[in-house]
Structure 1
Amino acid sequence: MVLSLDRWIGKVAVITGASAGIGAELVIRLADAGIIVVGLNRRAIQLADKHANLKDKIHYIQCDISNEADVQNAFKKINKIGVVHILINNAGTTTKNNLFDGEPDTWRKVLDTNVIGTCIVSKEAIKIMTANKIAGQIININSILGHFVYNIPKANIYPASKHALTALTETLRLELIDIDSDIKVTSLSPGPVDNTEFFVRQNVGDGNNGPIKYFLNPEDIADAAMFVLSTPPHLQVAELMLRPLKEPY
């Protein structure tokens, strides 16, 4: 197997949740590889000065992915930049409460972003890829919690939303087969990642400071995404799971 990103150079990649953590790392890594990147974020952000050399390859569009009209407007702007070849669904959110006494409105917010929002963005990207006969790549940034449920305080509906993403990714893969599409779909499921919305960094080695001791870095997830993108068109990475060394769960 020959790994290469050459076919993506100069093409457009859309990344949701691109303002920080994994999303921000993905933006820089793809742009540095010669890919034109459009970052979708709920809040408007500007490219940091330290990445000013990539400014011609990076665009940011303010967009709430849980709002279909917002997403449709964003893709109208993206069409002026170029034809979408890559979509990385990275946006996700959580809320700190319990199922037994939490507020349903906060749970809906999580589902609207993590599940429905991912579907809305994927629909728009696939529409473009299909119309232009593009053998594109969709990567859903999932979670280890999309496969297992850990005893993490106040996780509430978050693991359920990620289990849904696991099922949605596989369902989409099968649907694309049914229409004879060459679009590839990948579920990328990391364990705890430092500097993300859900996992709060614990002091490694301190047995009294919470259940999570070992972490991945956003760079690790970006490395994995670059690997997926570098695989040849005939090979589909359906699921890729990353876990910190020594993680006991």
Structure 2
Amino acid sequence: MVLSMDRWVLGIARRSERIEESAKLLSNKQGKLHAIKADLTKEEDILKAFKWAKDNLEPVHILINNAGRGAKANLTEGETRQWKKVFDLNVLGLSMATREAVKVMKENQINGHIIHMNSVAGHQVLNFRGPSVYCASKFAVTALTETLRQELNQQGLKIKVTSVSPGMVESEMTNLHPNLTPEMKAVYEKMPFLKSEDIADAVVYALSTPEHVQIPELTIKPVGEKINDCV
């Protein structure tokens, strides 16, 4: 999860050392990247992170809900604990962080922006072994994005909300996973991939729109991708 204002960015993750490594690489750039260690499935960790931001930084203008996970846990054979891990992070963690960000923006009269990192799997169930519960969690993100947009409108708030739905992206959830089977390696070798920089560019694009312009949904796919090639 990422919180941001013009002069700072706060990265929140279980592996906060990775954010700290990025902060070192960006030390000669404008602004500052801070790191907070937190488990985004735990409400107390999320509340502590927002409190730290409030006590040490300026009010939040941007929230990027980019924490997520998958699981090889289909609906007919999967384990309940695996399903729960997916929904706790992809749906409940996103919802709790969104609630806290909106509170800050309302209190400080900020016309902010909330971005949910979704997936093409949040718009179509993939005929791909394993990700059935993952698809369900991302369909929830699609619904929550529109629900949030409507709630903000009902309250007269000018906070923007965007769902960013990538196709196949090089990551530890896909072809960079450390425990890939030979079968999955062979499958991935035939697929086109986006890079993380492509998704970052899409987020920047959504954030750069004029104040009166909102992009509710932004779908990004690599050229040549077939929908059921993706997770």
Instruction: State the TM-score, normalizing by the size of structure 1.
Output: 0.80
Listed one character per residue, the Cα deviations across residues 193-249 of structure 1 (whole Å, up to 9, x for unaligned) are: 01242x2269xxxxx922761111101100000001100010000111001111122
Do 2:118 and 2:142's aligned partners in 1 also have CA atoms closer than 8 Å? yes
Residue of structure 2 in register with 1:210 after alignment = 187
**In the alignment, which residue of structure 1 is the partner of 2:21?**
47
Q: Could you list the runs of 5+ residues in structure 2 that have no partner in the other structure? A: 178-184
Q: Quick one: higher RCO (CA 8 Å, sep 6+), 1 or 2?
A: 1
Structure 1 contact 47–55 (Cα < 8 Å) conserved = no
Deviations 1:73-132 (A, max 9, x none): 111100121100000000001122322211101100100000000000000000000011
**Aligned partners of 1:191 and 1:44: how far apart in 2?**
26
Match of 2:97 in 1: 121
Work out the percentage of aligned pairs sharing the same amino acid: 43
Q: Identify which range, 95-104 or 58-67, moves more after superposition.
A: 95-104
Contact 2:125 2:132 in 1 (8 A): no
In the other structure, the counterpart of 1:72 is 47
In the other structure, the counterpart of 2:222 is 244
Which segments of 5 or more consecutive residues in structure 1 lack a partner in the other structure? 1-13, 17-29, 203-207
**Structure-2 residue corresponding to 1:191:** 167
Instruction: Give the 5 Å matches for 1:72-221.
Output: 72-79=47-54, 80-197=56-173, 199-200=174-175, 209-210=186-187, 213-221=191-199
Match of 2:202 in 1: 224
Matched residue count? 215
Pairwise CA distance, 1:56 = 5.6
- Which aligned runs of 4 or more in structure 1 are off by greater than 4 angstroms? none
The Cα of 1:69 is off from its aligned counterpart by 1.2
Q: Aligned partners of 1:130 and 1:222: how far apart in 2?
A: 26
1:53 CA drift (Å): 2.0
- Counterpart of 2:2, as a letter, is I
Rounded Cα–Cα distance in structure 1 between residues aligned with 2:95 and 2:226: 32
Quick check: 177-186 or 101-110, which moved more?
101-110
